[in-house]
Structure 1
Amino acid sequence: MRARGARRGAVGLGAALTLGALLSGCQLPDVGMSPGLSAAAAETSAAPATTARPSVAPVTEEAPVTPARVAGDLDTGSVTHTVAAGDRSVVIDWWTDQESVAWTAADAKTIQLSAHVEGGSAKQEITVTRFAATADDGTARTTVTEDRGEFVLTPPFSYTSALNVAPSAATATALTVYVQFDLLVETASGSGEYFRQTVQDSIELPLVQEIP
Structure 2
Amino acid sequence: MAQNRTSPEEKLGKPIKRAFFARSVHEVAPDLIGATMLVNGVGGIIVELEAYHHTEPAAHSYNGPTPRNMVMFGPPGFIYVYRSYGIHWCINFVCEKEGSASAVLIRALQPTHGIPAMQRRRGLQDERSLCSGPGKLTEALAITHALNGLPLDAPPIALFARPRKVEVVTGLRIGLTKAVDLPWRYGLKDSKFVSKRF
**Both proteins in one fold, TM over 0.5:** no
Q: With structure 2 as the length reference, what TM-score do the two structures score?
A: 0.24
More strand as a share of residues: 1
Structure with larger RCO (C-alpha < 8 A, sep 6+) = 2
Computing the radius of gyration from Cα coordinates, the structure with the larger value is 1
